[in-house]
Structure formats: C-alpha cells, structure tokens
Amino acid sequence: MPRRRDRAPRAPFENLGPLDTLLPISTGTASLAVENDGSVLLDVNGVPSSHLHPDPEHLVFEYMRWMLLVIDRHLDQAGRQEVAGARPAQIAHLGGGGCSLPRAIAARHERARQIVVEIDSLLAEQVRTWFDLPRSPQLRIRVGDARSALADWREDRFDVLVRDVFAGDVTPPELIGLESVQQVDRVLRPGGLYLANCAAPPGTRLMADEVATLSSVFAHVGVIAEPAHLTGRRRGNCVLLASQAPLPDGVDRALRSDAVSVRLAPRDRVLALARAGTVLGRD
C-alpha cells in the first residue's frame, strides 16, 4: 500500500479565481464555491465537475474514492510502488475538470507519471493555478479530444487508464462503444487496468450495455455500485473495472470502510448484466 502521511491542517487554496460567479472557459462557463472545510466545488456549465479538498488525498466525490482505492491495490499488486529504480507507473485520465483524482494519486504515488486529457483549454490552464496542481512530469495536461487522444497513443503504454468524461451529465457515445473499448485494450500494458465512471439514468440499460461491451473485449470485468444503482432504481455514479488480468484482490473488503454502502458486485451479477446488455457500436 502507498505510504500514508500525517494529515496536518493545510491552508485553503490561495490562488482561486472569483467565487460564486460565472467564469468564462472555452466550452462555456465555470464557477467556484468554497465550502466550510476549505474545499472547493467546481461547476462546469452548471454541472458539478470536481470537488477539491485542501488535503489532496481527501476525495469528496464517492466514485473517486472508489477509483483511488482500486488504483492503490492494482499498483501494489502489480509491483508498481515507489521502489528505487523501478519504472514509474504510467496513468492516463480521459477527462480532467479540476483534476481531483490525478491530484490525489500524485500525493499518494509520487513517482507515478500521469497525463490528463481535457478538451477545454482555458479550464485546463486555470485549474493549474486555482488548485496548485503538480507539474510535469508528475502530472501533464493535454488539451484535446479524449477519443482522438486514445487513438493517437501507442500500444502497451499505460498501467492504468481512467475514463471520466461528460458532456453535460452524460458520457459521449463515442467513448463507450466497442471501438473505443478495443482502443483502451490496445493502449493498456499487459495486466493493465481500466476504470470508467458510468452515470446510468434510471430506467435505462446503459450500465448493462457498458458491461456487455467491456466483457466482449476484456477477460475480467467488475462493477462498484450501490445496490439501488445496480438494479437501475436510482441514478448514481458507478465505477466499471476491466482488465485482461484478474481484478485486484481485497477491493470489496476495502469498500466496506467507505461512508457509502457500496460493494463490488458479485461475479454472477456482473455476468447477468452482460447478458442483459447489448454490445454498443457493434455492426
């Protein structure tokens, strides 16, 4: 596991833009609001995008905590920890926003090398200043389209790839179809791990369709979700996992310590979802 630090009090962010007002960005507007604990909520075009706490390892959005938990275990079990002379872990993020998760990973895994793809050039420039993000090579931000970046990357490049891209409150269709999933498999190193934020509206088969699509490419697929999200009764952020190697051990046990009642879905439930879904983008 990564080295834990003493969580001493930290100063609030010192270089924020104007608060509680609409700020122009390349794709529309953003706004910043400071909470009582010094954390900052970033809205993009009226939708909550990121929540950053003065302590970078404190993640407010539940699904990001679950992702960080899985990444910790994956890097630990893959031997990608901070060992002198070892190759740094290579991690890519499709979708940036305020870079809450990359910032937490950088604090937890200092030798990791991360690249974030963010379509909004002005937002990418601003969040570096607002949130004092780590610099290259620890954390690079590439301005561009996530689907194009995925196609451009060479094969076997990343140990972990995270998808957290939204247009409004939905993931663009071109990032959830079969072709994109095949590209993800191509750019992951052997045994690499894919994590995707899936926000399935109630009454839709989006989660099942995504599980079916992932299962058509990857040998091992998992779902982290609250029970009501698994049954489709309520909208919520679920984390989809996929790898050609077995998923990290101990994830479900670790999730039990989270403030939210969330579980790693049993394998038979994942298989049932895959059977109920349709592979997206298959001709």
Q: What is the pLDDT of residues 90-149, one digit of tens each?
A: 999 999 899 999 999 999 999 999 999 999 999 999 999 999 999 999 999 999 999 999
Q: pLDDT tens across 14-61, in order?
A: 899 999 999 999 999 999 999 999 999 999 998 899 999 999 999 999
Rg (CA), the chain: 18
At 4, is the pLDDT very low, low, confident or very high (cuts 50, 70, 90)?
Answer: very low
For residue 78, the 8-state DSSP code is T
Provide, rounded to the nearest whole percent, the portion of the chain with pLDDT above 90: 73
| Distance of alpha carbon 13 from alpha carbon 16, whole angstroms | 6
* CB neighbour list of residue 147: distance below 8 Å, 6 or more residues apart: 172, 174, 175, 180
Around Cβ 131, how many Cβ atoms within 10 Å? 21
pLDDT of residue 233: 65
Q: pLDDT tens across 177-216, in order?
A: 999 999 999 999 999 999 999 987 766 688 999 999 999 9
User: Which token pair is 212?
Assistant: 């079916």
Write down the domain spans for the chain.
61-276
Q: pLDDT tens across 79-94, in order?
A: 654 455 578 999 999 9
Mean pLDDT score of the chain? 89
| CB 140 within 8 Å of CB 34 | no
Number of H helices, E strands in the chain: 9, 12
**Cα dihedral 52→56→58→61 (10° resolution):** 40
CATH architecture of 61-276: 3-Layer(aba) Sandwich (3.40)
| Distance of alpha carbon 189 from alpha carbon 90, whole angstroms | 10
